[in-house]
Amino acid sequence: MNLKGSVCIVTGSATGAGAACAIQLARKGARVVVNYSRSEKDARATLQGCKDAGADALLVQADVARDADCRALAQAALDKWGRIDALINNAGITKFAAPSDLDALSAEDFQHIYSVNVIGPYQMIRACVPAMKKQGKGAIVNVSSISGVLGVGSSTAYVASKGALNVMGLALARALAPTIRLNTVCPGMIETRWHKDRFDAEGYARFKADYEKTVPLAKAATPDDIAEVCVWLLEGGDVVTGECIFVDSGLHLGFGRASR
């Protein structure tokens, strides 16, 4: 896909990997829809970053858990530019809970996490597909997590939601071909406020150091690391669909780094 002049929607793009995706797309000449649910100040900073890169960009508040919001988000892009070329489903939530504590999560917790992490991407895809089919092509990237592959993560509900997102991506890649490509990116640890807000400064530094001692490539990902893969799947992966790309510094390999 030639990103110059394309129209790309990035959900959950106020901060972190979503913001990095939006700004990298803008630098490549795409027209970008920046989306947020609550973090308006951060989203406006992302919007300005896109504009500073020389891109035409639009800010839209929408909660992907609500189908009406997803349809309105897609329609905002169509109203402004008349097309939708790409969608990055990045919005996601969790509730931190030890998997051994079976009382830490309620049915409502599962339903809320699924509503954003699984149903939200489905609704966004459904809202964008008609425009993509009309123009004869499109590309979608779902941002998942290595948690959905390894079965470890911030909570059992989160792990289950990301596993569901991964499998849903396979089903929809088949259903949407040959017109639309759909791939999934599974990050490991990313240096964002997701974990920084979970710990104090000392605890976060310890958590990051422990991760980097474990993974073969000895580093946590930055938001730009994740964005580079997402953007490549839109721009360079013209014959790639149905893939689940691990962007986890080798965590999925299942062993620590060899002694040096």
Backbone angles phi, psi at 18, to 5 degrees: -65, -45
Are the C-beta atoms of residues 117 and 57 closer than 8 Å to each other? no
What is the token pair recorded at 135? 């123009």
CA pair distance 145, 133, nearest whole angstrom: 28
Q: Is 83 helix (H, G, I), strand (E, B) or coil?
A: coil
Residue 158 falls in the annotated catalytic set: yes
CA pair distance 126, 70, nearest whole angstrom: 9
CA pair distance 132, 121, nearest whole angstrom: 16
Strand-pair partners of 35: 60
What is the token pair recorded at 164? 């569901």
Pick the catalytic residue from 36, 114, 122, 158. Answer: 158
Are the C-beta atoms of residues 162 and 106 closer than 8 Å to each other? no
Cβ atoms within 10 Å, residue 258? 6
Q: Is 131 helix (H, G, I), strand (E, B) or coil?
A: helix
CA pair distance 153, 132, nearest whole angstrom: 34
Are the C-beta atoms of residues 191 and 20 closer than 8 Å to each other? no
Residues classed as catalytic: 158
